[in-house]
Amino acid sequence: MPAPRPSLANEAAHWHALQRQGGVTPEQQRQFMKWLVTSPAHLREYITVSRVASELSDAVRGMAVDLDALIAAGPPAADDNVVALPVRRRPPPPVASRASRRHLPGIAAAAALLLGVGVVGHLAWPQTRHYVAAHGAPRSFALPDHTVVHLNAESELSIRFTLLSRRVELSRGQASFVVAEERRPFAVHAAGLEVRDIGTTFDVSLRREQARIEVAEGSVQIRGDSGQGRLLADLRAGQSAHIDYRDQTVSLRQQHIDTMTAWWRRRVVFQDEPLREVAEQFNRLNRVRLQVDDDVAGALRLTGNLRGDDLASLRTFLDQQPSLHTRVVDQRIHVSSRSAAETSAKQP
């Protein structure tokens, strides 16, 4: 088979890159489809630059499809989950030309691939979805590719899946991902960072002053500038990275895997963390709020492992700290440093 002309290879590479980057407009998608079905050569060249298209092609080859009947049937009903071929329907000539017979297998292959795209559309076309977990209501769900997401309370994310990529935007809160294995790359974008999966279970948490990425299985690569910047960290299972929002300085730590996933079971685990951040973890789960009343108390670093909905145990834990004082006022647990509490008590 002769090599494809350079212009055709460039066109295929252009569409490949556009689909991979995401953000394809409806008009661009129509132009892509028009280009794809123009000739079998276009389809063949696109397959050579598309790893996932080859996966779809393999699936279609295993389908029991009568291609001649498919072509003769014309466009399907509007509510069918099949992509229609944009071909003008004309009465067939009495005798098909030799050129028509020669191109029929290629056109049939294109029709079969497009049928496969319709059947397994979640792999082929851009999909956008938005997920929110409300206050006190963490949730777990599966994405269209069967990736399992654990979304913490007061958290929000969006996805965009295309033919060649799987992109997640975490806009607030915390989410863990048990990533389904397939050829399309999976990346999470959050706070100007890109976390790229390499066969992984990992967690991304947007805290007050830093982003935290923890890996329970496999590995991830973290880059700045939404994936266009330098490599900030290459994490393996049992490692975490704390990345400052201001200058993207990175602090690497070893962490027990059970600790990373404890919040899936509504446990709040903290290790040498300031009280103000511990309070935020409890507050996203409970109606009764934990309010830190002074900076000295908020900066106190604590280590513990408590049930997220057990506020009585939380208050007992805080009262056991020599430098802290708690009191309950108007459905709030106020916690302050003892020095601040004593000063307040002396004031008239």
Average pLDDT over residues 30-40: 74
Mean pLDDT across the stretch 250-271? 94
Same domain, 11 and 115: yes
Q: Are 290 and 283 in contact (CB under 8 A)?
A: yes
Candidate from 6-15, 87-96, 138-147, 253-262 with smallest mean pLDDT: 87-96
Same domain, 139 and 252: yes
pLDDT at residue 230 tops 80? yes
- Lowest mean pLDDT segment, chosen from 81-85, 140-144, 220-224, 257-261: 81-85
Please return the burial class of 182, using the count of CB atoms within 10 Å of its CB with bins 0-12, 13-18 and 19+.
middle
Segment 245-265 shows an average pLDDT of: 93
Asked if residue 161 is part of any domain, the answer here is yes
Q: Which of 226, 260, 294 is the last residue of a domain?
A: 260
pLDDT band at residue 120 under the 50/70/90 scheme: very low
Co-location of 140 and 230 in the same domain = yes
Residue after which a domain boundary falls, among 199, 227, 260 = 260
Interior/surface letters 118-136, b for 16+ CB within 10 angstroms, e for the rest: bbeeebbbbbeeebebeee
pLDDT bracket for residue 198 (50, 70, 90): confident
User: Which of 21-30, 85-94, 183-192, 314-323 comes out lowest in average pLDDT?
Assistant: 85-94
**pTM of structure:** 0.66
pLDDT at residue 240 in the model: 97
82-90 mean pLDDT: 46
Q: Which long-range contacts (CB under 8 A, 24 or more apart) does 236-244 make?
A: 239/214, 239/215, 240/212, 240/213, 240/214, 240/215, 241/212, 241/213, 242/210, 242/211, 242/212, 243/193, 243/210, 243/211, 243/212, 243/213, 244/209, 244/210
Report for 30-34, 77-81, 115-119: range of highest mean pLDDT? 30-34
**In which domain, by residue range, is 170 found?**
127-260
**Into how many domains does the chain fold?**
3
pLDDT at 31: 83
Q: Are residues 55 and 74 in the same domain?
A: yes
- pLDDT number for residue 126: 83
Residue 49 located in a structural domain: yes
If asked whether residues 81 and 109 sit together in one domain, one would say yes
47 and 100 in a single domain? The answer is yes
% pLDDT > 70, the chain: 70
| Domain boundary residue, one of 123, 142, 171 | 123
Asked if 139 and 172 sit in the same domain, the reply is: yes
47/72 same-domain check: yes
We report the CATH number of the domain holding residue 313 as: 3.55.50.30
Whole-Å CA distances, 228 to 21, 222, 223, 225, 232: 12, 11, 7, 5, 11
pLDDT (0 to 100) of residue 117: 44
Look at residue 29 in the predicted model and tell me its pLDDT: 76
Q: Are residues 47 and 167 in the same domain?
A: no
pLDDT at residue 286 tops 50? yes
Whether 13 and 84 map to the same domain: the answer is yes
101 and 193 within one domain = no
CATH of the domain at 136: 2.60.120.1440
Has residue 103 got a pLDDT over 50? no
Residue 1 lies in a domain: no
